[in-house]
Amino acid sequence: MWLALATVAMTLCVGIAVDLGGHVHAQQRAHALAAQAARTAGEEVAVAEAVRGETPTVDTAAARRAANSYLARAGVTGRVSVRAGNVLHVQVTDHYTPVFLGSIGVGTLTVSGESTARLVRAVNGTER
Q: In this structure, which amino acid lies at residue 113?
A: G
Is the model's pLDDT at 111 over the cut of 80?
Answer: yes
0.75 exceeded by the pTM? yes
Split into its structural domains, the chain has a count of 1
CB 70 within 8 A of CB 88: no
Is the model's pLDDT at 110 over the cut of 90?
Answer: yes
Is the model's pLDDT at 2 over the cut of 80?
Answer: yes
Distances in Å between the alpha carbon of 64 and those of 31, 33, 67, 107, 114?
A: 18, 14, 5, 32, 15
CB 115 within 8 A of CB 90: yes
Among residues 116, 55, 112, the alpha carbon closest in space to that of 80 is found at 116
Residue-range definition of the domain harbouring residue 29: 2-127
Q: What is the pLDDT of residues 81-109, one digit of tens each?
A: 999 888 999 999 999 999 888 888 889 99
